[in-house]
A and B are shown apart, each in its own frame.
Chain A
Amino acid sequence: DVKVTQSSRYLVKRTGEKVFLECVQDMDHENMFWYRQDPGLGLRLIYFSYDVKMKEKGDIPEGYSVSREKKERFSLILESASTNQTSMYLCASSLSIRLSYNEQFFGPGTRLTVL
Chain B
Amino acid sequence: ILNVEQSPQSLHVQEGDSTNFTCSFPSSNFYALHWYRWETAKSPEALFVMTLNGDEKKKGRISATLNTKEGYSYLYIKGSQPEDSATYLCASAPPGGYQKVTFGTGTKLQVIP
Contacts and interface: CB of A to CB of B under 8 A. Distances in A.
Interface residues of A, number: 29
B31 A108 contact: no
Interface string A42-59: 111100101000001011
B99 A109 contact: no
- Chain A CB within 10 Å, residue with most, of B31, B49, B51, B103: B103
A94 B99 CA distance: 9
B42 A100 contact: no
Contacts of A105: 43, 46
Contact of B43 (A40, A44, A107): A107
A43 B89 CA distance: 9
B43 A42 contact: no
Contacts, number: 72
A105 B101 CA distance: 13
Given A42-B105, A42-B106, A100 B99 contact: yes
Nearest to A58: B100
Contacts of B31: 100-101
A42 B99 contact: no
A40 B105 contact: yes
A98 B97 CA distance: 6
Q: In the complex, which of the residues B42, B91, B98, B106 has the most CB atoms of chain A within 10 Å of its own CB atom?
A: B98
Contacts of A97: 97-99
Contacts of B89: 42-43
Scoring A44, A103, A106 by chain B CB atoms within 10 A of each residue's CB, the highest score goes to A103
A48 B93 CA distance: 14
